[in-house]
Amino acid sequence: MVSRKDVAQLAGVSVAVVSYVLNGKNNVKEETRNRVLAAMQELKYEPNLLARSLKTQRTQQLAVFVNYLGNPFEAGILLRLEAAARQEGYLVFFQTYTPDLEQPLISALRGRVDGLVLLGQQLEYETFQRLKALDVPVLSVTQSPMLQEWGIPCIDLDWVKQYREAILFLKNKGHHRIAYMTDTVSGCYHLHRLRAFQEAIRLEGLALPEQLILDGGGKVETATPMFHDFIEQNASNLPMSALVCSNDLMAAAVVDACKTNSIKVPEQLAIIGSEDILMTQHTDPKLTVIHYPREMLGTLAMNMMKQLLLKSPMESFTVEGELLPRGTA
Amino acid sequence: MVSRKDVAQLAGVSVAVVSYVLNGKNNVKEETRNRVLAAMQELKYEPNLLARSLKTQRTQQLAVFVNYLGNPFEAGILLRLEAAARQEGYLVFFQTYTPDLEQPLISALRGRVDGLVLLGQQLEYETFQRLKALDVPVLSVTQSPMLQEWGIPCIDLDWVKQYREAILFLKNKGHHRIAYMTDTVSGCYHLHRLRAFQEAIRLEGLALPEQLILDGGGKVETATPMFHDFIEQNASNLPMSALVCSNDLMAAAVVDACKTNSIKVPEQLAIIGSEDILMTQHTDPKLTVIHYPREMLGTLAMNMMKQLLLKSPMESFTVEGELLPRGTA
């Protein structure tokens, strides 16, 4: 492999001068710089980034913890984060986060990344401490309990506000028994959304008894059998007339389970999803959803990360959602 | 930050001994090894992986080039690749590949990864040469033209076989004018599938004139207006009775466009997708698809990568697909 020394020899300069050129220093004469660049080209020299990042202590790499990449909501955020990061010269790692892997994940990242983006994981306090020891800025796209209290800035919807809007919309259509489907297993941002929904229901003067909080497990594969069982247990006489789901995969599963069990949507059950993934426009009927403006999340997150890398203090940021009435409510 | 020197001092050994322990060498007495490990634990020493990887010349990082992470087909493959890689102690980068970014992508990866996984990109010959210069093993999950000729092993379906099965299925239902929707813009694996479809049609004794090869652009957002225009141009009198789509996103878009234009599926148009992403079970009617066994791709690819890292020669690998008749054909 071609080294800086080879380039220096061919260009007739010292190795230090080659380094100056590589690092964009201004202390090299134009003519010398051109000679060095010509030598690099001739020798097809490419700098070893691994060695370089060791020197600058910057890896130009960011890590993203995803919860479940099989959810198009998260895949879409990752897609946009990568696009925005690349514009700033950063490569993006992603890691599927599970609590049992906290220690190996954090060890694996030590010295490899300049910053970490969470997708609303529900962290243990000890993990949070270890993250601090990584000494890299952390921010979260979507929120989960504790993150903000620990000073990790989050980008998210104002869920209480969004859910109040959805509940009001349902109330205006005569719904007063409104259930909520969450995912207690993964926790993560689902827990934050659940708490916001509970608050929103209270503010709208309705009740959300335990039996109207369903656990759909976050995926189509888990929500489908869960909701079939629920219908069966209630002998098709559902204890609610409307259901808000904390993600769209579960909402799509419920639409399907209703069809299989001859429960008419929205007449017998109105359904609202919380993200507006592509699939929601292909269900039958099409899903009424809260639109989560994912398009802008990548740029927003990257802007925030840049500030954090400069050690600027950073507040959490609220984006505006929108209720999109379609066919299911 | 705690260094090896600190560990060595506390354990009363030389820095070299600490390094032996870290690198799992056998030349350290059990008792000494335990003392070093205890010192590491006491000091909460964690090895700097960046420095270590520079020494071992192994980064324990793999890169994956994706075409479009917004396609659940690719997101699903990435998800499984990551799971399999992690089991082997590898972190996974992903990069969205576009031809104009070839040079920066390759420069960015130099020295940072031990191997590269392609998701069927359509590479220029020069890119291929530069990839070789990276001196890391390359394999492709899904195939595109040239990759195999260049000696890059691929994991993919036998598309000619799968498409023959689909065409035969359609023929048995009386279809003889069968169209194909591809994506000529991104090229990548779409081009490989198109060629296989052309071969399969020929082998089944049918014709595929130019006008029956549609370009849907690979996404719902592109295929929807394209197919609306197509219906309009043909005054709802379609020149085919069946359509096979090279991915499911386009197939879902066509189902929707048919509904909007009162074209009955499958009576007036039978539709088959090529991947079996989750969404295909939520369209109305549900999509008939070729099932692509993505579940096993991560493990398969990682096994192949391990062999390649050991410099073993590696053949391409064919997985078995399956036609799943549902509602659209």
Percent of chain A past pLDDT 90, that is, above it, reads 57
| SS3 state at A82 | helix
Does A139 have pLDDT greater than 50? yes
Q: What is the pLDDT of residue A47?
A: 61
Task: Count the alpha carbons within 13 Å of B123 in the hemisphere toward its beta carbon.
Answer: 27
Tell me which of B278, B283, B286, B328 to substitute to probe the interface with A (most A C-beta atoms closer than 10 Å). Answer: B278
Measured distance CA(B141)–CA(B316) in Å, rounded: 10
B4-47 shares its CATH topology with B61-157+295-321: no
Q: Helices (DSSP H) in chain A: which residue ranges?
A: 4-11, 15-22, 30-43, 49-56, 72-87, 102-109, 125-134, 159-172, 188-203, 220-233, 248-260, 297-309
Domain B61-157+295-321 matching CATH 3.30.450.40: the answer reads: no
AA identity, residue B270: A
Q: Quick one: tokens of B95?
A: 């990069």
Each residue's pLDDT tens digit, B193-227: 999 999 999 999 999 999 999 999 999 999 999 99
Extract the residue ranges of chain B whose pLDDT is less than 50: 50, 53-54
Contact A111 B54 (CB under 8 A): no
Q: What is the pLDDT of residue B48?
A: 57
Using alpha carbons, select from B287, B291, B271, B269 the residue that is nearest to residue B279.
B287
| pLDDT for B286 | 95
Q: Which residues of A touch B50 (CB under 8 A)?
A: 50, 53-54, 59, 111-112
Q: What does the pLDDT average to over A222-230?
A: 96
Put simply, whether B123 touches A (Cβ < 8 Å) is no
Provide the chain A residues 83-102 that lie in CB contact (below 8 A) with chain B.
83, 86, 91-96, 101
Residue B326 has a pLDDT of 97
Report pLDDT for A57. Answer: 60
- The most confident of A12-21, A56-65, B23-32, B316-325, by mean pLDDT: B316-325
Residues A106 and A136: their CA atoms lie apart, in Å, by 11
A64: enclosing H helix or E strand: strand A61-66
| In contact, A209 and A201? CB cutoff 8 Å | no
What was the pLDDT predicted at A188?
87
Residue range A231-246: mean pLDDT, rounded:
95
pLDDT of the residue at B54:
46
Contact A78 B72 (CB under 8 A): no
- Cβ-defined contact of B282 to A281 (cutoff 8 Å): no
> What is the structure's pLDDT at A100?
74
Given 1.10.10.10, 1.10.260.40, 3.90.330.10, 3.90.550.10, which CATH number is that of B4-47? Answer: 1.10.260.40
Q: Name the maximum alpha-carbon separation found in chain A.
A: 87
Per-residue pLDDT at B50 = 47
Buried-state track A270-304, b at ≥16 Cβ within 10 A, e below 16: bbbbbbbbbbbbbbbebbbbbbbebeebbebbbeb
Position with higher pLDDT, B111 vs A84: A84
Q: Which residue has the higher pLDDT, B294 or A287?
A: A287
The residue with greater pLDDT, A196 or B121, is A196
Give Cβ neighbours of residue B82 (< 8 Å, ≥ 6 apart). A69, A94, A95, A96, B92, B298
Give the residue with greater pLDDT, B134 vs A230.
A230
Q: CA gyration radius for chain A?
A: 25
Record: fold of A159-292: Rossmann fold (3.40.50)
pLDDT value of residue A88: 85
Q: How far apart are CA B59 and CA B115, in angstroms?
A: 9
Q: 3-state class of A36 per DSSP?
A: helix
Instruction: Decide if pLDDT at A51 tops 70.
Output: no
At residue A54 the predicted structure's pLDDT band, cuts being 50, 70 and 90, is very low
B282 and A282 in contact by Cβ < 8 A?
Answer: yes
Average pLDDT of the segment spanning A167-171: 98
- Domain A58-157+295-320 carries which CATH code? 3.40.50.2300
pLDDT in tens, B99-151: 777 777 777 777 778 999 999 888 888 888 878 777 899 999 999 888 888 88
Domain ranges of chain B: 4-47, 61-157+295-321, 159-292
For the cut 50, the answer to whether the pLDDT of residue A50 exceeds it is no
Whether A132 shows a pLDDT value over 70: the answer reads yes
